[in-house]
A and B are shown apart, each in its own frame.
Chain A
Amino acid sequence: MEFTAPVLNYAQLAPILIVLGGALIGVLIEAFAPRASRHSSQLFITIASLVAAFAALVRVRNQASVDAAMGSVAFDGAGVLLQGSILIIALLSVFLIADQENFTALAAAVPGSSEERESLQRDLRVTEVYPLTLFAVAGMLLFPLSSDLITLFVALEMLSLPLYLMAGLSRRRRLMSQESALKYFLLGAFSSAFFLFGVAYLYGYSASITFAGIQSSVIGGSGNDVFLLLGIAFISVGLLFKVGAVPFHAWSPDVYQGAPTAVTGFMAAATKVAAFGAILRIYYVAFANAQWQWRPALILIAIVTMVFGSVVAIAQRDVKRMLAYSSIAHAGFLLAGVIALSKSGLDASLFYLFAYGIATVGAFGVVTLVRDSAGEVTDLNRWSGLGKRSPLVASVFAFFLLAFAGIPLTSGFIGKFSIFSAAYESGSTWILISGVLSSAIAAFFYIRVIVLMFFKDPVEDGTSVVIPSALTLTTIVVTSAITLLLGVFPAPLITFIESSAFFIR
Chain B
Amino acid sequence: MNALTSMMLLPLLGSLLIAVIPNDQVLRIKQAALGTTLLIAISGVMAWFKFDAGNTSLQFVQISQWIPSFGINYAVGVDGLALVLILMSVLLAPIVVLAGWNESEGGRWSVKVFYILILVLETMMIGVFAATDIFLFYVFFEAMLIPVYFLIGGFGSGERAAAAVKFLLYSLFGGLLMLASIIGLYVIAGKHGGHTFDVGQLSELHKFMSPTTQNLLFLGFFIAFAIKAPVWPLHTWLPDAAAAATPGTSVLLLGVLDKVGTFGMIRFCLALFPDASKTFTPIILVLAVISIVYGAFLAIGARDIKRLIAYTSISHFGFITMGIFAMTSQGHSGATLYMFNHGFSTAALFLVAGWMISRRGSSTISDFGGLQRVTPVMAWSFFIAGMSSLALPGLSSFVSEFLVLVGTYTRYPVAAVIATFGIVLAALYILIPVQKALHGPTTPGNENLTDLNLREKIAIAPVIAVIVALGFYPAPLLNVINPASAHVIASQGFTDPVPSESAGK
A325 within 8 A of B: no
Q: 22 A-B contacts, Cβ less than 8 Å apart? A: A387-B108, A413-B142, A417-B70, A417-B183, A420-B180, A424-B183, A425-B187, A432-B180, A432-B184, A436-B177, A437-B176, A439-B176, A443-B176, A447-B168, A454-B153, A455-B154, A455-B160, A456-B161, A490-B67, A494-B67, A494-B69, A494-B70
Q: How far is the CB of A151 from chain B (nearest CB, A)?
A: 32
Chain B residues positioned under 8 Å from A444 (CB to CB): 169
Say how far A408's CB is from chain B's closest CB, in angstroms: 4
Digit string of B62-99 for contact with A (CB within 8 Å is 1, else 0)? 00011111100000000000000000000000000000
- Nearest opposing residue in chain B for A416, CB measure: B179
Is A409 an interface residue when CB atoms closer than 8 A count as contact?
yes
Contacts of B143 in A (CB 8 A): 407-409
Task: Judge whether A454 and B154 touch: CB under 8 Å.
Answer: yes
Cβ of A424: which chain B residues have Cβ within 8 Å of it?
183-184, 187
Which residues from B are CB-within-8-Å of A417?
A: 70, 135, 179, 183
| Interface status of B414 (Cβ within 8 A of chain A) | no
Q: How far is the CA of A413 from the CA of B145 in the complex (A)?
A: 15
Chain A residues within 8 Å of B186, by CB: 421
Nearest Cβ on chain B to A84's Cβ, whole angstroms: 19
Partner pick for B108 among A408, A418, A440, A455, CB 8 A cutoff: A455
Q: Are A454 and B150 in contact (CB-based, < 8 A)?
A: yes
Residues of B within 8 A of A387 (CB): 108
Asked if A433 is at the interface of the complex by the 8 Å CB criterion, the answer is yes
- CB neighbours (8 Å) of A491 from chain B are 65-69
Complex CA distance for A414 and B138, rounded to whole angstroms: 12
Q: Is the CB of A451 closer than 8 A to any CB of chain B?
A: yes
Let me know if A425 and B190 touch, CB within 8 A. yes
Name the distance in Å between A450's Cβ and chain B's nearest Cβ: 8
CB within 8 Å for A454 and B108 given contacts A407-B146, A432-B180, A440-B176: yes
CA distance A495 to B67 in the complex (A): 8
Q: How far is the CA of A91 from the CA of B67 in the complex (A)?
A: 28
Please pick, from B108, B139, B169, B183, the residue contacting A420 in the complex, using a CB distance under 8 A. Answer: B183
Contact of A495 among B69, B145, B179 (CB under 8 A): B69
Cα A440 to Cα B138 in complex, Å, equals 16
B146: A residues at CB distance < 8 A: 402, 407
A 278-311 binary contact with B (CB < 8 Å = 1; else 0) = 0000000000000000000000000000000000
Instruction: Check B173 for interface membership: any CB of A closer than 8 A.
Output: yes
CB-defined interface of B150-189 with A at 8 Å, one 1/0 digit per residue? 1001100000110011001100110011011001101100
> Does A391 touch B at the CB level, under 8 Å?
yes
B135 vs chain A, min Cβ distance (A): 8
The B-contacting residues of A in range 223-253, CB under 8 angstroms, are none
8 Å CB contact of A455 from B69, B70, B135, B164: B164
Is B183 in contact with A440, judged by CB distance below 8 angstroms? Answer: no
Give 11 new A-B contacts, CB below 8 A, not counting A425-B190, A494-B67. A408-B139, A408-B142, A413-B139, A417-B70, A417-B135, A421-B70, A421-B183, A421-B187, A424-B184, A444-B169, A455-B164
**CB-CB contacts below 8 Å: A373-429 with B:** 387-388, 391, 402, 405, 407-409, 413-414, 417-418, 420-421, 424-425
In the complex, what distance in Å separates the CA atom of A53 from the CA atom of B177? 44
Please determine whether A391 and B172 come into contact, CB atoms closer than 8 angstroms. no
Q: Does A498 contact B (CB under 8 A)?
A: yes
Query: Contact mask B272-287 → A, CB, 8 Å, 1/0?
Result: 0000000000000000
| B494 at the A interface (CB under 8 A) | no
B472, CB-defined interface residue at 8 Å? no
- Given A436-B179, A447-B168, A491-B69, A455 and B142 contact (CB-CB distance below 8 Å): no
Min distance, Cβ A443 to any Cβ of chain B, angstroms: 5
Please determine whether A451 and B176 come into contact, CB atoms closer than 8 angstroms: no
B421 within 8 A of A: no
Chain B residues touching A, majority SS: helix
B69 / chain A contacts, CB cutoff of 8 Å: 347, 491, 494-495, 498
CB proximity of A282 to chain B, nearest CB, Å: 26
A227 vs chain B, min Cβ distance (A): 36
Verify if B109 is at the interface (C-beta below 8 Å from A).
yes
B165 touches A451 (CB 8 A): yes
Residues on B with C-beta less than 8 A from A490 are: 67
Q: Which residue of chain B has the shortest Cβ distance to A388 in the bound complex?
A: B108
- Taking Cβ atoms with an 8 Å cutoff, the residues of B that contact A are 65-70, 108-109, 135, 138-140, 142-143, 145-146, 150, 153-154, 160-161, 164-165, 168-169, 172-173, 176-177, 179-180, 183-184, 186-187, 190
Determine whether the beta carbon of A455 is less than 8 Å from that of B153: yes
Nearest CB in chain B: distance from A433 CB, A: 7
Bound CA–CA A409/B176 (angstroms): 15
Which residues does chain B contribute within 8 Å of A495, judged by CB atoms?
Answer: 68-69
Bound-complex Cα distance A414 to B168 (A): 20
Q: Within the complex, what minimum Cβ distance (angstroms) separates B183 from chain A?
A: 5
Evaluate contact between A409 and B139: CB separation under 8 angstroms.
Answer: yes
Partner of B176, one of A414, A436, A448, A454: A436
Indicate which residue in B70, B161, B179, B180 contacts A451 across the interface (CB closer than 8 Å).
B161
Decide yes or no: A436 and B172 within 8 Å by CB, A425-B187, A495-B68 being known contacts. Answer: no
Chain B nearest CB: distance from A351 CB in Å? 10
Q: Which 8 A-B pairs have the closest CB atoms?
A: A455-B161, A408-B139, A436-B180, A421-B183, A408-B142, A494-B69, A436-B176, A425-B187
Q: How far is the CB of B261 from chain A (nearest CB, A)?
A: 18
Find out whether the CB atom of A451 lies under 8 angstroms from the CB atom of B139: no
With CB as the reference atom, state the residue of chain A lying closest to B187: A425
In the assembled complex, the Cα of A425 lies from the Cα of B70 at a distance in Å of 13
For B169, the chain A residues whose CB sits under 8 A away are 440, 443-444, 447
| Cα–Cα distance between A175 and B154 once the two chains are bound (Å) | 41
Q: Which residues does chain A contribute within 8 Å of B139, judged by CB atoms?
A: 408-409, 413
User: Looking across the interface, which residue of chain A has its beta carbon closest to that of B168?
Assistant: A447
A367 to chain B, nearest CB (A): 22
Give bound CA distance, A307 to B187, whole Å: 24
Chain B contacts of A433 at CB under 8 A? 180
Task: Kindly state the separation between the CA atoms of A456 and B139 in the bound complex, as whole angstroms.
Answer: 29
Residues of A within 8 A of B68 (CB): 491, 495
**Shortest beta-carbon distance, A267 to chain B, in Å?**
29
**Quick one: given A418-B70, A454-B108, are A408 and B164 in contact (CB under 8 Å)?**
no
- List the A residue with the shortest CB-CB distance to B139: A408
**B138/A408 in contact, CB under 8 A:** yes
B184: A residues at CB distance < 8 A: 424, 432
Which of B135, B139, B142, B161 lies at the interface centre, i.e. has the most chain A CB atoms within 10 A of its CB?
Answer: B139
Across the interface, B153 reaches (CB within 8 A) one of A408, A436, A440, A451, namely A451
Contacts of B138 in A (CB 8 A): 408
State A447–B145 Cα separation when bound (angstroms). 12
Q: Which A-chain residue is minimally distant from B191 (CB atoms)?
A: A425
Closest chain-B Cβ to A424's Cβ sits at a distance in Å of 5
Complex CA gap A82/B138 in Å reads 30
Set of chain B residues within 8 Å of A448, measured between Cβ atoms: 165
Measured CB to CB, the closest approach of chain B to A461, in angstroms, equals: 20
- Bound Cα distance A405, B108 (Å): 25
Q: Do A407 and B142 touch (CB < 8 A)? A: yes
Given the interface pairs A408-B142, A408-B143, A424-B187, the reply to whether A440 lies near B165 with Cβ below 8 Å is no
A436 to B216, CA, bound (A): 14
Q: For residue B180, which residues in chain A have a CB less than 8 angstroms away from its CB?
A: 420, 432-433, 436
Most buried by B among A408, A420, A421, A425: A408
- The smallest beta-carbon distance between A347 and chain B, in angstroms, is 8
B199 to chain A, nearest CB (A): 18
Q: Which of B66, B146, B186, B187 has its CB near the most chain A CB atoms (within 10 A)?
A: B187
**How distant is the Cα of A409 from the Cα of B179 in the complex, in angstroms?**
14
Q: Write the nearest CB–CB distance from A502 to chain B, whole angstroms.
A: 15
Chain A residues 436 to 481 lying within 8 A of chain B, measured CB to CB, are 436-437, 439-440, 443-444, 447-448, 451, 454-456
| Cβ–Cβ < 8 Å partners of A388 in chain B | 108
In the complex, chain B residues whose CB is within 8 Å of the CB of A391: 109
- Bound form: Cα–Cα A436–B145 in Å: 18
* Chain B residues whose C-beta falls within 8 Å of the C-beta of A436 in the assembled complex: 176-177, 179-180
CA of A312 to CA of B190, assembled, Å: 36
Q: Which residues from chain A contact B172 at a C-beta distance below 8 Å?
A: 405, 440, 443
